[in-house]
Protein backbone atom coordinates (compact mmCIF):
# COMPACT_ATOMS: atom_id res chain seq x y z
CA UNK A 1 0.00 0.00 0.00
CA UNK A 2 0.87 3.65 -0.41
CA UNK A 3 0.81 5.99 2.56
CA UNK A 4 1.35 9.62 3.43
CA UNK A 5 3.25 10.16 6.66
CA UNK A 6 3.29 13.40 8.57
CA UNK A 7 6.19 13.12 10.99
CA UNK A 8 7.41 15.40 13.78
CA UNK A 9 10.97 16.48 12.97
CA UNK A 10 13.09 18.30 15.53
CA UNK A 11 16.88 18.48 15.19
CA UNK A 12 17.62 18.52 18.92
CA UNK A 13 16.22 19.53 22.30
CA UNK A 14 16.78 23.23 21.67
CA UNK A 15 15.60 23.38 18.07
CA UNK A 16 12.10 24.24 16.89
CA UNK A 17 10.17 21.24 15.61
CA UNK A 18 7.66 20.91 12.77
CA UNK A 19 5.67 18.25 10.95
CA UNK A 20 7.20 17.04 7.67
CA UNK A 21 5.36 15.05 5.02
CA UNK A 22 6.70 11.89 3.36
CA UNK A 23 5.23 9.40 0.91
CA UNK A 24 5.98 5.69 1.27
CA UNK A 25 5.05 3.03 -1.23
CA UNK A 26 5.14 -0.78 -1.39
CA UNK A 27 4.19 -1.23 2.25
CA UNK A 28 3.00 -4.77 3.01
CA UNK A 29 0.27 -5.40 5.55
CA UNK A 30 2.54 -7.95 7.27
CA UNK A 31 5.05 -5.26 8.15
CA UNK A 32 5.22 -3.89 11.62
CA UNK A 33 4.78 -0.14 11.99
CA UNK A 34 8.47 0.23 12.78
CA UNK A 35 9.46 -1.82 9.74
CA UNK A 36 7.43 0.66 7.70
CA UNK A 37 9.51 3.46 9.27
CA UNK A 38 12.68 1.44 8.53
CA UNK A 39 11.65 1.47 4.87
CA UNK A 40 11.23 5.24 4.95
CA UNK A 41 14.60 5.69 6.67
CA UNK A 42 16.46 3.53 4.15
CA UNK A 43 15.09 5.77 1.41
CA UNK A 44 15.97 8.94 3.28
CA UNK A 45 19.56 7.82 3.87
CA UNK A 46 20.06 7.04 0.19
CA UNK A 47 18.64 10.45 -0.73
CA UNK A 48 21.17 12.02 1.63
CA UNK A 49 18.51 13.17 4.08
CA UNK A 50 18.50 12.73 7.83
CA UNK A 51 16.52 9.58 8.76
CA UNK A 52 13.73 9.87 11.34
CA UNK A 53 15.04 9.16 14.83
CA UNK A 54 12.86 6.96 17.03
CA UNK A 55 13.48 4.75 20.07
CA UNK A 56 13.06 1.02 19.61
CA UNK A 57 14.88 -2.10 20.68
CA UNK A 58 13.32 -5.50 21.39
CA UNK A 59 10.46 -5.18 18.89
CA UNK A 60 8.62 -7.80 20.93
CA UNK A 61 6.55 -5.43 23.04
CA UNK A 62 8.46 -5.90 26.28
CA UNK A 63 11.42 -3.49 26.54
CA UNK A 64 9.25 -0.37 26.51
CA UNK A 65 11.57 1.63 24.26
CA UNK A 66 9.20 2.36 21.38
CA UNK A 67 7.07 5.40 21.97
CA UNK A 68 5.11 6.97 19.14
CA UNK A 69 1.88 8.90 19.13
CA UNK A 70 0.11 7.69 16.01
CA UNK A 71 -2.89 9.61 14.77
CA UNK A 72 -3.20 11.15 18.19
CA UNK A 73 -3.08 7.84 20.11
CA UNK A 74 -0.14 6.70 22.21
CA UNK A 75 1.09 3.49 20.45
CA UNK A 76 -1.61 3.91 17.78
CA UNK A 77 -5.02 2.36 17.23
CA UNK A 78 -4.47 -1.12 18.76
CA UNK A 79 -3.95 -1.80 22.41
CA UNK A 80 -0.30 -2.77 22.11
CA UNK A 81 3.16 -1.27 21.84
CA UNK A 82 4.16 0.57 18.67
CA UNK A 83 6.52 -2.26 17.69
CA UNK A 84 3.69 -4.81 17.80
CA UNK A 85 1.37 -2.64 15.72
CA UNK A 86 1.16 -4.01 12.19
CA UNK A 87 0.33 -2.26 8.96
CA UNK A 88 -2.78 -4.39 8.55
CA UNK A 89 -4.35 -1.87 10.94
CA UNK A 90 -4.10 0.74 8.14
CA UNK A 91 -5.29 0.89 4.56
CA UNK A 92 -3.94 2.00 1.25
CA UNK A 93 -4.00 5.77 0.82
CA UNK A 94 -4.10 6.56 4.54
CA UNK A 95 -2.44 9.63 5.95
CA UNK A 96 -0.74 8.86 9.26
CA UNK A 97 0.42 11.44 11.81
CA UNK A 98 3.45 10.38 13.85
CA UNK A 99 4.51 12.41 16.88
CA UNK A 100 6.68 11.85 19.96
CA UNK A 101 5.29 11.42 23.49
CA UNK A 102 4.08 14.88 24.45
CA UNK A 103 4.63 15.81 28.12
CA UNK A 104 6.70 18.51 29.74
CA UNK A 105 8.40 15.90 31.94
CA UNK A 106 9.53 14.05 28.77
CA UNK A 107 11.55 16.61 26.76
CA UNK A 108 12.25 15.80 23.12
CA UNK A 109 15.83 14.71 22.36
CA UNK A 110 15.44 14.42 18.61
CA UNK A 111 12.47 13.87 16.27
CA UNK A 112 10.41 11.15 17.97
CA UNK A 113 12.89 10.38 20.77
CA UNK A 114 12.14 11.73 24.24
CA UNK A 115 13.95 11.73 27.58
CA UNK A 116 12.12 9.46 30.04
CA UNK A 117 14.76 9.50 32.78
CA UNK A 118 12.15 10.96 35.15
CA UNK A 119 10.72 7.43 35.36
CA UNK A 120 14.07 6.06 36.52
CA UNK A 121 14.26 8.70 39.22
CA UNK A 122 10.78 7.77 40.48
CA UNK A 123 11.95 4.16 40.86
CA UNK A 124 15.16 5.32 42.54
CA UNK A 125 13.06 7.20 45.09
CA UNK A 126 11.60 3.97 46.47
CA UNK A 127 10.49 1.55 43.77
CA UNK A 128 12.44 -1.36 45.23
CA UNK A 129 12.59 -3.76 48.17
CA UNK A 130 15.77 -3.43 50.20
CA UNK A 131 17.31 -6.89 49.97
CA UNK A 132 21.08 -6.71 49.49
CA UNK A 133 22.56 -9.75 47.79
CA UNK A 134 23.23 -12.55 50.24
CA UNK A 135 20.64 -11.55 52.82
CA UNK A 136 17.73 -13.50 51.42
CA UNK A 137 15.98 -16.20 53.46
CA UNK A 138 14.95 -19.49 51.83
CA UNK A 139 12.38 -18.71 49.15
CA UNK A 140 9.67 -20.89 50.70
CA UNK A 141 10.08 -19.34 54.15
CA UNK A 142 7.36 -16.83 53.29
CA UNK A 143 4.42 -18.20 51.30
CA UNK A 144 2.55 -15.58 49.30
CA UNK A 145 -1.15 -16.22 48.74
CA UNK A 146 -1.76 -16.80 45.05
CA UNK A 147 -4.22 -13.90 44.67
CA UNK A 148 -1.60 -11.53 46.11
CA UNK A 149 1.11 -12.96 43.89
CA UNK A 150 -1.15 -12.59 40.85
CA UNK A 151 -2.05 -9.04 41.86
CA UNK A 152 1.64 -8.18 42.22
CA UNK A 153 2.38 -9.69 38.84
CA UNK A 154 -0.44 -7.85 37.12
CA UNK A 155 1.14 -4.54 38.20
CA UNK A 156 4.73 -5.66 37.74
CA UNK A 157 3.99 -6.11 34.03
CA UNK A 158 4.46 -2.35 33.45
CA UNK A 159 7.16 -1.85 30.80
CA UNK A 160 7.86 1.81 31.65
CA UNK A 161 7.11 3.01 28.13
CA UNK A 162 5.33 6.17 29.23
CA UNK A 163 2.21 5.79 27.08
CA UNK A 164 0.15 6.57 30.19
CA UNK A 165 1.81 9.97 30.48
CA UNK A 166 1.54 10.65 26.75
CA UNK A 167 -2.16 9.81 26.75
CA UNK A 168 -3.04 11.82 29.86
CA UNK A 169 -4.40 15.32 29.21
CA UNK A 170 -2.56 16.41 32.38
CA UNK A 171 0.69 14.59 31.59
CA UNK A 172 0.36 12.66 34.84
CA UNK A 173 2.55 9.68 35.75
CA UNK A 174 0.07 8.24 38.23
CA UNK A 175 -0.45 4.91 36.46
CA UNK A 176 3.28 4.26 36.12
CA UNK A 177 4.00 5.15 39.74
CA UNK A 178 1.02 3.30 41.13
CA UNK A 179 1.88 0.13 39.19
CA UNK A 180 5.19 -0.20 41.04
CA UNK A 181 3.67 0.73 44.40
CA UNK A 182 0.89 -1.83 43.98
CA UNK A 183 3.36 -4.50 42.89
CA UNK A 184 5.64 -4.12 45.89
CA UNK A 185 3.21 -3.05 48.61
CA UNK A 186 1.00 -6.12 48.30
CA UNK A 187 3.89 -8.53 48.91
CA UNK A 188 4.99 -9.52 52.42
CA UNK A 189 8.57 -8.77 51.38
CA UNK A 190 7.55 -5.20 50.55
CA UNK A 191 5.78 -4.52 53.85
CA UNK A 192 8.65 -2.94 55.87
CA UNK A 193 8.99 -0.09 53.35
CA UNK A 194 5.31 0.16 52.53
CA UNK A 195 4.81 3.71 53.81
CA UNK A 196 8.13 5.29 52.86
CA UNK A 197 7.83 3.82 49.37
CA UNK A 198 4.55 5.49 48.50
CA UNK A 199 5.43 8.81 50.13
CA UNK A 200 8.87 9.06 48.50
CA UNK A 201 7.79 7.92 45.06
CA UNK A 202 4.82 10.26 44.93
CA UNK A 203 6.98 13.17 46.10
CA UNK A 204 9.52 12.42 43.36
CA UNK A 205 6.74 12.14 40.78
CA UNK A 206 5.52 15.61 41.73
CA UNK A 207 9.07 17.01 41.65
CA UNK A 208 9.56 15.78 38.11
CA UNK A 209 6.81 18.03 36.84
CA UNK A 210 4.20 15.43 35.96
CA UNK A 211 0.62 16.69 36.15
CA UNK A 212 -2.07 15.67 38.60
CA UNK A 213 -4.68 12.98 38.08
CA UNK A 214 -8.26 13.89 37.30
CA UNK A 215 -9.30 10.28 36.76
CA UNK A 216 -9.82 10.72 33.03
CA UNK A 217 -8.74 7.12 32.48
CA UNK A 218 -6.89 7.73 29.21
CA UNK A 219 -3.77 6.20 30.78
CA UNK A 220 -5.33 2.81 31.38
CA UNK A 221 -6.85 2.83 27.89
CA UNK A 222 -3.46 3.49 26.30
CA UNK A 223 -1.50 1.09 28.50
CA UNK A 224 -0.20 -1.77 26.31
CA UNK A 225 0.05 -4.03 29.35
CA UNK A 226 -3.41 -3.40 30.72
CA UNK A 227 -2.43 -1.88 34.09
CA UNK A 228 -5.88 -1.18 35.58
CA UNK A 229 -7.12 2.30 36.50
CA UNK A 230 -7.93 1.00 40.00
CA UNK A 231 -4.19 0.91 40.53
CA UNK A 232 -4.27 4.70 40.96
CA UNK A 233 -7.10 4.53 43.49
CA UNK A 234 -5.13 1.97 45.49
CA UNK A 235 -2.04 4.17 45.40
CA UNK A 236 -4.06 7.09 46.73
CA UNK A 237 -5.32 4.88 49.54
CA UNK A 238 -1.76 3.76 50.32
CA UNK A 239 -0.62 7.39 50.32
CA UNK A 240 -3.42 8.49 52.64
CA UNK A 241 -2.74 5.59 54.97
CA UNK A 242 0.98 6.36 55.07
CA UNK A 243 0.39 10.06 55.61
CA UNK A 244 -1.97 9.47 58.54
CA UNK A 245 0.36 6.91 60.04
CA UNK A 246 3.26 9.34 59.77
CA UNK A 247 1.17 12.02 61.46
CA UNK A 248 0.51 9.78 64.46
CA UNK A 249 4.19 9.26 65.15
Are 123 and 96 a contacting pair, CB within 8 Å? Answer: no
Number of residues that bind other proteins (CB under 8 A): 76
From the list 1, 24, 96, 123, which residue makes contact with other proteins (rule: CB under 8 A)? 123
Which residues have C-beta within 8 Å of that of residue 174, sequence separation ≥ 6?
Answer: 164, 168, 205, 210, 213, 219, 232, 235
Instruction: Scan residues 209-248 and list those touching other proteins (CB under 8 A).
Output: none
**Minimal distance in Å, beta carbon 229 to other proteins?**
20
Taking the complex as a whole, the smallest distance from the CB of residue 29 to other proteins amounts, in Å, to 8
Task: Tell which residue, 190, 211, 219, 210, has the closest CA to residue 126.
Answer: 190
**Shortest distance, position 112 Cβ to other proteins, whole Å:** 11
Residues with Cβ within 8 Å of residue 1, at least 6 apart in sequence:
27, 28, 29, 87, 90, 91, 92, 93, 94
Q: Does 152 bind other proteins (CB under 8 A)?
A: yes
CB atoms inside a 10 Å sphere around CB 166:
24
Which residue lies nearer to other proteins by CB, 55 or 73? Answer: 55
CB of 103 or CB of 125, closer to other proteins? 125
Residue 15 burial (C-beta neighbours within 10 Å; 0-12, 13-18, 19+): exposed
Interacting positions 5-64 with other proteins (CB under 8 A): 12, 28, 30-32, 34-35, 38-39, 42, 44-46, 48-51, 53, 55-64
When asked if residue 116 is in the footprint of other proteins (CB under 8 A), the reply is yes
With binding defined as CB under 8 A, does residue 183 bind other proteins? yes
Amino acid sequence: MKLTLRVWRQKNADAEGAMSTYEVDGISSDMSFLEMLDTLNEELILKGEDPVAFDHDCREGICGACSLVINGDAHGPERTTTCQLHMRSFKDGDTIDIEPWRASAFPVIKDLVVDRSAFDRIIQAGGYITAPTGTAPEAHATPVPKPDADYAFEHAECIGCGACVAACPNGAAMLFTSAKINHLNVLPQGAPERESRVLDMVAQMDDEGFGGCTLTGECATACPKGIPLMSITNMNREWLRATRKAGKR
